[in-house]
């Protein structure tokens, strides 16, 4: 019984990591936009996007731009864990070829203290954005030519959602 008294609070702390509390007015209308209602960052006006060239030659850098935009009228923040803003400290992308074979992640896997400390958050002023460019070849084993699809999977920790996946063709 004593173990449950320790496990339950610890589980609650872990599950609340990187959560952002939001408040709304009583007169606000209900939205059917799933990103706004399911994701605290999106509800605060944060939108994340990814960009990569359509075609990349084998041997060239595979540069992906990851941007976060704050469309809200107030400053807000998001957790940089599980985003390109901390480079390759966790597997936050799902990269698959046209046959559904997943590219192996070759970066670090960091163990984390929960809840995240204050320096784990990036603050964005109203109507501002921040971006970073990373080479996907530094974090993933992509060597075979073909068509690849990239999906962002780090939203559970960072609080960010990238609505659309992106694809590129890796050619000889």
CA angle 63, 116, 83 (to 5 degrees): 10
pTM (predicted TM-score):
0.71
Question: From CA 41, how far away is CA 158, in angstroms rounded?
Answer: 9
Q: pLDDT tens-digit profile of 59-92?
A: 888 999 999 999 999 999 999 999 999 888 889 9
Residue with tokens 């941007």: 67
Can you list the domains of the chain with their CATH numbers? 2-18+38-171 (2.60.40.2970)
Q: pLDDT tens-digit profile of 88-120?
A: 888 999 999 999 999 999 987 877 778 887 888
> Quick count: other Cβ atoms within 10 Å of Cβ 137?
19
| Amino acid 44: pLDDT | 62
Q: pLDDT tens-digit profile of 1-19?
A: 555 455 554 444 444 444 4
- Which is nearest to 150 in space by CA: 101, 94, 90? 94
């Amino acid at each position: 019984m004593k173990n449950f008294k320790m496990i339950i609070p610890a589980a609650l702390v872990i599950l609340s990591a990187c959560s952002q509390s939001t408040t709304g007015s009583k007169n606000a209308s209900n939205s059917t936009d799933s990103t706004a209602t399911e994701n605290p960052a999106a509800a605060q006006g944060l939108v994340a996007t990814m960009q990569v060239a359509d075609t990349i030659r084998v041997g060239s850098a595979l540069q992906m731009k990851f941007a976060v935009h704050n469309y809200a009228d107030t400053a807000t923040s998001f957790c940089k864990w599980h985003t390109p803003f901390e480079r390759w400290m966790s597997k936050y992308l799902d990269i698959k070829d046209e046959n559904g074979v997943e590219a192996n992640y070759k970066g670090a896997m960091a163990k984390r203290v929960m809840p995240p400390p204050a320096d784990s958050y990036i603050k964005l002023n109203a109507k501002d954005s921040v971006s970073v460019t990373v080479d996907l070849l530094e974090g993933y084993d992509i060597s075979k030519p073909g068509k690849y699809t990239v999906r962002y999977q780090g939203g559970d920790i960072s609080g960010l959602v990238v609505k659309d996946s992106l694809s590129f063709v890796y050619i000889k």
